[in-house]
Amino acid sequence: MIKTDVVIIGAGPVGLFTVHQLGIKGLKSEVIDNLDKAGGQCIELYPDKPIYDIPAVPECSGKSLTDNLLQQIKPFGTKVHLNERVQEIKEDKGEWILKTNRSKTFVTPNIIIAGGVGSFEPRKLPLKELTKFEGKSVFYSVTDKTLLKNKKISIFGGGDSALDWALELSKYSKVTLIHRRNEFRGAPHTLKILDKLKNEGKISIKTPFQIHSINDDKELKFIKIKDDNEKIEKIETDIILGFFGLIMQLGPIVEWGLNMNKKTIEVNTENFQTNKPGIFAIGDICSYPGKLKLILSGFHEAALASVECFKRARPNEKYRFEFTTSSKEIQNRLGIKK
Amino acid sequence: MPKITYIDQAGNSKTIDVENGLTVMEGAVQNNISGIDADCGGSMACATCHVYVEDSWFNKLPKAEDAENDMIDMAYKPEKNSRLSCQIIVSEELDGLTVTTPEKQT
């Protein structure tokens, strides 16, 4: 069981800056994120896209923004629990108890949800019958390559992941690569190899095709694919791999009894607290009149929420507003030596 | 103001006046049209504002960029007439545009 002043859900830019705002006030926090790295959408969706509206930073990439934020919060030594999702929360004597999908328990007076649009999950093929084969013969990521040796594998997708796995698995399995249009999007070098393997008959490429149906048995035996002209082809298949990127799902948060507005959580703008005392929502996931989904708005929301967190975590202390330029105490917390 | 019609899979149709310069996605979100999620807010990074454009209109629209087509690859049940509604900018020329929202976005 981990006791802390604040649990931050989401390690995107806003979640990371929250660590800073809490840290300079002397509050300890723990961050939990479902992804395998910090940065949220900035890293997962657009690591290389330039961002032009971070105040005083004329241009930066999602990656450099994340790296700089991690640098900025380094002095606080805050733990970021990655690959982990908060599954349930409950209240106990004015404190919140959180449980994750990895069976970790956190106890805290404050939860700040900086969850963006939710946690990232792989997008799936649009065929209900595939659900029962998931994890057995239908996969949306590869964790164990040995399961994929000497098999008949149908890979769906047209981006880097689909191409890379098609190349790799064609070394020891019979691979069919299926994509909804003729163009693939991959590194030039990858596309060249793909072409070569295709010409050598080592990979079968089916475009423009999409999944149509599968056999109706206990085991996956074949799939049928359909092109734009309704032409149907049957492909013998033991394993289906789908690579359609990631989608954001709100997940368990919707069951926590928070006032929601579509996919966002309603907050008051004084301290970004939700209808539940001690639960805050900031960044893209919160809504209030005039809300803008900008990173800079999230930073502002983090600052205000951190003040209320202080009051709740230190009920016997008086909150004092201080500037980093002049406060010796803040500078100590930041490890600045003069 | 140009009128844009949004039809869902059940056939329910809503016609909205959308200001010039807004995207078809924004027109939907601002008018509570269900079926368009637009999780990324219009940065062409999520494919949850996917729509099917009526054939007669599809060819009249400015062509999708490569990056948009790459994103449509990720969408739920893409078709030949698929577009991301965040990339269709409303103008007088698009008065009467009709789009159909998919059965779901994810």
Domains of chain B in sequence order: 3-100 (3.10.20.30)
DSSP string for A314-331: -TTS------TTT-HHHH
Residue of A nearest to B40 (CA): A117
| pLDDT value of residue A249 | 83
Cβ burial of A249 (10 Å; 0-12, 13-18, 19+) is middle
Q: Tell me which residue in B41, B47, B73 faces A293 most closely, judged by beta carbons.
A: B41
Which residue among B39, B70, B106 sits closest to A159, beta carbon to beta carbon?
Answer: B70
Using a pLDDT cut of 90, give the percent of chain A over it. 86
CB contact under 8 A, B74 and A126: no
Asked if domains A2-121+247-333 and A124-244 share a fold, the reply is: yes
The two tokens of residue A296 are 């800079």
- pLDDT per residue as tens digits for the range A55-74: 999 999 999 999 999 999 99
Q: Is A180 on the interface with B (CB under 8 A)?
A: yes
Q: What percent of chain A has pLDDT over 70?
A: 100
Cis status, amide bond into A47, omega within 30 of 0: no
In the prediction, which pLDDT does A260 show?
94
* Interval A250-272 mean pLDDT: 93
What is the predicted ipTM? 0.83
Residue B70 touches chain A, beta carbons under 8 Å: yes
Q: Comparing A142 with A295, which gets the higher pLDDT?
A: A295
Query: Which residue among A46, A157, A249 places its CB closest to the CB of B45?
Result: A46
CATH code, residues A2-121+247-333: 3.50.50.60
Closest-approach residue (CA) in chain A for B80: A228
List B16's β-bridge partners, or say none.
B4
Beta bridge partner(s), residue A227: A209
Q: Determine, for residues A247 and B43 on separate chains, whether the beta-carbon distance falls below 8 Å.
A: no
| Tens-digit pLDDT profile for residues A308-323 | 999 999 999 999 999 9
Q: What is the pLDDT of residue B39?
A: 84
Contact B73 A284 (CB under 8 A): no
DSSP state of A291: -
Are A126 and B43 an interchain contact pair (Cβ–Cβ within 8 Å)? Answer: no
pLDDT digits (tens, 9 = 90+) for B14-67: 999 999 999 999 999 999 898 998 988 888 888 999 999 998 999 999 999 999
Is B46's Cβ below 8 Å from some Cβ in A?
A: yes
- Decide if pLDDT at A338 tops 80: no
Question: How many CB atoms are located within 10 Å of the residue A123 CB?
Answer: 21
- Contact flag B73-A46 (C-beta cutoff 8 Å): no
A248 touches chain B (CB under 8 A): yes
Contact between A233 and A252 under an 8 Å Cβ cutoff? The reply is: no
Q: Where are the domains of chain A?
A: 2-121+247-333, 124-244
Tokens at A130, concatenated: 């595939």
Does the domain formed by A124-244 have CATH 1.10.10.10? no
| pLDDT exceeds 90 at position A140 | yes
